[in-house]
Structure 1
Amino acid sequence: MNRLNIKTIIFSCAAAMAAAGCTDLDVDVKSQYTEVPNTPEAIEAVTSEIYNPYRTAMGRQHWMAQTLTTDEAVGVSMGSDYYDGGVYRQMSVHDWNADNGMLGTMWDGAMTGITTCNKTMKMLDGMSESDMAPVRAMRAYYHFLLMDNFGDVPIMGDDASAHPDRSKRADVCRFIESELKDVMKYLPSEVSEATYGKATKYMAEALLAKLYLNWNVYTADNVADYTPETANPKINDCIAMCDSIILSGNYALTDSFMVKFRPDNGPQIKDFVFVMPFDRETLQGMVHARFWKSRSGKDQFGVAPSGPAGNLRCPREFVEKFNLPGDNRNEQYLYGKQYYWENYKRTNRPFIIETTKNGYDQDYTAADKDEPISWQMDYTLDIPLRPNGESTLDVGNDQKGRAAGARSIKFYPDVNATASEGHNQSNDMPIFRYADIILMKAEAILRGGKATLGDTPMSLMNQIRTYVHAPLVTADPTLDELLDERAREFADEGWRRNDLIRYGKFEDNWGFRYLYPQGFNEKFRRIFPIPTSVLNTNTNWTQNEGYTK
């Protein structure tokens, strides 16, 4: 098949999906083409589309929903800037509703991913199990995203109806397990540039490990009734999946911590088991730095084409977890006086803002308020709100407000972005890392699993401590100590919400949670509401328990 026909198939498949809607499975995809992909190159071209539907959500809305609902970050406004109808505030104080725009993008991205996989499987009908396996594995992953975030969701397997009803979360969990176990032996075990960002045996094992570690969360009759003491019958299965990845010898903790997340990361990173690749030119959507950089810090890391939003701030109590002497992970947060950066290193040149006394502090109204001053940007650990600023989390749009709160530079700004590329970064986003495999195994043992391969929670945690040059532990960590280690290791990577729910700490007090005290008891928020737009389409569905709309 020539390249033109391959491109035509991919474009036509996308067009068919858009026309049919994200839950319509009745479209006969194969009948639309005169040729069926029958060469490795053609199959590769057709299946490449299965990795793209969640790109926008992963680069922004999914990341924010997993981050802002935890102690990792709050989303403030600066005067009227970036209140945006309360979308960030809702997540930060735990009073989101079904109209929050982040949720619709997440739902549509995952559902489109499932539909894309199903349509691709129709196109590949008659091909080998090896050709089908990556598509089924990605379909399972998209089901995982829906189930983890929204609870009861449709199971859209091979025999799904055109308008499927929602299934119990536990049944979706078991479907994901069954699919992954069924395709495991057909998935590629090669780890190379050719399989980077693709579904492999180890991606499936990592997803199963994550599924098994949270099994008692996902199979609870009611998510609000889950407690960390709930028995987990799959804890040893989690360890088995971790062991398979460990014994493969394909992954290692040999990369420097901050290097792994830079715009030039890629297949050379030995820690990455499965990633979402991004490229500021051709695979756009990754925009972390846009929201973490100060609104006045446009050129702090190099000449930038676009001004940042700067509305994400890290609460003091989370930053203070980064307190281990010598720990490379301490470098991912900026606070205190700021300096210019070059080539991923901080220079000794102060980052100076030319402003006025009133520009620094909007409450300063003395006669000399317009007097020019030079001020070195200085990020505070506390995040004070403006008087009467609780309703919008307003910190003020003066320099003082723009400097409130620590900032993450884990996903370092892409200084090579051009004006046409805007805020887009080339930092690939890890989904499953080898470091996570190590710490999941440690947690599974602490939760009652059988130790294997001579590993102990202490030895496993020390593998992490060794590569980041942090002090070694001298005894098995407690579960709470392990949770803090996960905070240091996986901050800003979209797993903190998952961790806090499993630990029974999602309702704890941090940041500005006190502004909505009801949230401390609203355990139904461990899953998000079904987006209003989805319920308007599926009128026979009911909203998740606890949500009024």
Structure 2
Amino acid sequence: MKTKNFILSAGLLALSLTGCTDLDVNVKSQYTGLVSSPEAVQANMANLFFQMRDCLGRRYMEAMCLSSDEYTSVAYSGNWVDSYAYAHPSYHTCRPEDATMDWMGVLGRANVLANEIVASDYTEENKCAARAMRCFYTFLIMENFGDAPIPDAEYKQANGLDLFDRNPRPEVAKWIEKELLDVYDKLPEVTTGDNYGKPNKYMALALLAKLYINWPVYTSVKVADYNAASAQNEKLADCIKVCDQIINSNKFALGPVSYRFKFAHNNTELVESGQIKDFIYVMPYDTYEAQGMQWNRSHAYKDIKNLNPSYFGEKMGQSGGGYMTITPECVDRFNLPGDERNWMIIGLQDKDGNDAGGQVYVYDPTTLLPTDQKVLDKTGAPLVLSKNITIPDGNDIASVDVGDNLTGWSQGYRSVKWFMCSRDYNNGRHLSNDVPIFRYADILLIKAEALVRSGQSGAATLFNQIRSYVNAPTISGEPKLDDIYMERGREFFDELWRRNDMIRFGHYEDEWFPHYKDNPNASFDPNMRVFPVSKNDLDVNPTWSQNLGY
């Protein structure tokens, strides 16, 4: 080991310390450098790449889904209230103490490690990978919390930015752009094999596309100042350019496998065999070797253990949490005849595409399609879900208490998109479904959106590629922004991008269950477009201030 001098943002350093409140340290501090043996390098790089695995597998997912119009939380006669940690995102009334908010520190710790790698004697390849990951984690902090600590002390000093505090969101966006433009072409082009789940050239370009399409959101001086109707995006040409770099690489495609297989428990194998070419950047999971993906713990029907077989075609040996259910407004988006994506929601359609009226059917675990067999509840009666969610009179509206009985458990339709097998679910509910973070389909729709926003033609061709692939009706003219917004809601349902889209398109203050204006628990304050900084992060960063409105 050797000791190095390195300038480190005290805010980020604080995020890497658990339970530490004494931050009276020099900006230039001595610390032990990273070990550079092959084993240590491999371990440190893996730690950096997969630092987010656990929170993506639960808490980050909860924050994204529950604050959007895709999901609401429900409680069962006092069960799953958990100090309203799940209800608060649904109402846009999050608290710094909520468990669903406590994951900024995970991203901060990753950036501390990235900085150590950048300052080490590791190879340039490793340093470039660390810089790309640093951009990704900082993007997520900026996206979700607004102002963020830029993890580049040299840049901050050169630009007169505070070394200790969070930096203004517009400055963070500019730094991310600078770093990605400098590093993307130095990253590997390979997205599979040994580089699967690791930063690559196209991951950096996809992150740039996300940054550019949201540029007016991120560069508004105040979060609440962004106005989707009047915002001007100076980065649309740049957005189209980076999308074209990905498209013209000819490395990606929507197929050849059908849509539903992309999200199943064996999607790793389908990538390796060339059946999935849509994934640009992925978080890999495995029920034994890469645990943390537990989405169906919250998504599944609460009494799934007593369904024999369950709607996944097998009996499941673990109970369901069931505290997240799909809003009726989300269900209503899946209204295109023949659209394969309609089957991602159980209770919506039968195997022939007819309205199922809430009746849940057993899916074939090989074809991932519904069969004629009806799912039976624990009494032996057909399991029928209610699209419209009802809170019984006298129950707690603040926690969306639907009651802890068969009627309560049936409130809201459920997702089968992340198709699971009993082997995984029975192993502590740890799923093997890899989660794509950037997909080729997203690049097609981002480019289409950028073309429409800049008044250019050509969006229909991109739009119709998505529609044709899922057997949905194509359009004859150029899509409008509302068409693209609705299509994104179908294509990326349950993939954690809906909140991002809602803010950009100006729909985050809309109404959906239970976020209705006649519900006294709901907030429509545009400051809620970012989350509160968690109490734990504020405790170790006494110079930080809470976000406006919290």
Query: Which of 504, 527, 531 is the matching residue for 1:528?
Result: 531
SS at match of 1:320: helix
Query: Which of 338, 346, 358 is the matching residue for 1:326?
Result: 338
Query: Structure 1, residues 523-543: CA drift from partner, whole Å, max 9, x if none?
Result: 000111111122222222211
Deviation (angstroms), 1:415: 2.0
Residue type at the aligned position of 1:532? K
Corresponding position: 1:175 with 2:175? yes
Corresponding position: 1:155 with 2:131? no
Residue type at the aligned position of 2:146? G
Other-structure match for 1:73: 71
- Where does 1:102-501 land on structure 2 (aligned, <5 Å)? 102-104=100-102, 106-122=103-119, 124-125=120-121, 127-159=122-154, 164-228=164-228, 229-254=230-255, 255-266=257-268, 267-268=271-272, 269-298=276-305, 299=307, 300=310, 301=312, 302-335=314-347, 336-343=358-365, 344-355=368-379, 374-389=380-395, 390-417=397-424, 419=426, 421-448=427-454, 456-501=458-503
Of stretches 342-351 and 405-414 in structure 1, the one that deviates more from structure 2 is: 342-351
SS at match of 2:267: coil
Deviation (angstroms), 1:416: 1.5
Residue 132 and residue 310 in structure 1: after superposition, are their counterparts in 2 closer, same or farther (change >3 A)? same
Q: Is the 8 A contact 2:54 2:292 kept in 1?
A: yes
Residue type at the aligned position of 1:143? T
Residue type at the aligned position of 1:249? N
Residue 200 and residue 94 in structure 1: after superposition, are their counterparts in 2 closer, same or farther (change >3 A)? same
- Where does 1:18-29 land on structure 2 (aligned, <5 Å)? none
Residue type at the aligned position of 1:497? R
Deviation (angstroms), 1:304: 2.1
Residue type at the aligned position of 1:237? D
Residue 151 and residue 17 in structure 1: after superposition, are their counterparts in 2 closer, same or farther (change >3 A)? closer
Of stretches 385-394 and 170-179 in structure 1, the one that deviates more from structure 2 is: 385-394
SS at match of 1:352: coil
Deviation (angstroms), 1:516: 4.5
Query: Structure 1, residues 444-489: CA drift from partner, whole Å, max 9, x if none?
Result: 01111656xxxx1111100101111111111111111110000000
Other-structure match for 1:11: none
- Report how many residues are paired: 503
Q: Is the 8 A contact 2:153 2:163 kept in 1?
A: no
Q: Distance in 2 between matches of 1:204 and 1:527?
A: 24
Q: Distance in 1 between matches of 2:208 and 2:470?
A: 27
Q: Distance in 2 between matches of 1:297 and 1:321?
A: 26
Residue 405 and residue 519 in structure 1: after superposition, are their counterparts in 2 closer, same or farther (change >3 A)? closer
Q: Is the 8 A contact 1:20 1:27 kept in 2?
A: no
Residue 128 and residue 76 in structure 1: after superposition, are their counterparts in 2 closer, same or farther (change >3 A)? same
Of stretches 530-539 and 73-82 in structure 1, the one that deviates more from structure 2 is: 530-539
Q: Distance in 2 between matches of 1:291 and 1:323?
A: 25
Identity %: 36
Other-structure match for 2:10: none
Deviation (angstroms), 1:21: 6.8
Q: Distance in 2 between matches of 1:119 and 1:386?
A: 54
Query: Structure 1, residues 91-118: CA drift from partner, whole Å, max 9, x if none?
Result: 11111122211111x2122111111212
Q: TM-score, normalised by structure 2?
A: 0.87
Q: Is the 8 A contact 2:424 2:430 kept in 1?
A: yes
Q: Which runs of 5+ in 2 are unaligned?
A: 1-14, 348-357
Query: Structure 1, residues 470-510: CA drift from partner, whole Å, max 9, x if none?
Result: 11111111111110000000011000000000011100011
Q: Distance in 2 between matches of 1:213 and 1:138?
A: 20
Residue 210 and residue 449 in structure 1: after superposition, are their counterparts in 2 closer, same or farther (change >3 A)? farther
Other-structure match for 1:90: 88
Q: Is the 8 A contact 1:62 1:102 kept in 2?
A: yes
Residue 441 and residue 146 in structure 1: after superposition, are their counterparts in 2 closer, same or farther (change >3 A)? same
Residue type at the aligned position of 1:115? V
SS at match of 1:459: helix
Q: Is the 8 A contact 2:66 2:86 kept in 1?
A: yes
Q: Distance in 1 between matches of 2:212 and 2:537?
A: 29
Other-structure match for 1:362: none
Of stretches 471-480 and 44-53 in structure 1, the one that deviates more from structure 2 is: 44-53
Query: Structure 1, residues 224-249: CA drift from partner, whole Å, max 9, x if none?
Result: 01012211111111111100000001
Q: Which runs of 5+ in 1 are unaligned?
A: 1-15, 356-373
Of stretches 386-395 and 239-248 in structure 1, the one that deviates more from structure 2 is: 386-395
Residue 516 and residue 121 in structure 1: after superposition, are their counterparts in 2 closer, same or farther (change >3 A)? farther
Q: Is the 8 A contact 2:91 2:521 kept in 1?
A: no
Residue 46 and residue 93 in structure 1: after superposition, are their counterparts in 2 closer, same or farther (change >3 A)? closer
Residue type at the aligned position of 1:154? P
Q: Distance in 2 between matches of 1:317 and 1:521?
A: 17
Q: Is the 8 A contact 1:29 1:119 kept in 2?
A: no
Residue type at the aligned position of 1:384? T
SS at match of 1:248: coil
Q: Is the 8 A contact 1:150 1:528 kept in 2?
A: yes
Q: Is the 8 A contact 1:75 1:89 kept in 2?
A: yes
Residue 304 and residue 518 in structure 1: after superposition, are their counterparts in 2 closer, same or farther (change >3 A)? closer
Residue 76 and residue 19 in structure 1: after superposition, are their counterparts in 2 closer, same or farther (change >3 A)? closer
Q: Distance in 2 between matches of 1:19 and 1:497?
A: 30
Residue type at the aligned position of 2:93? D
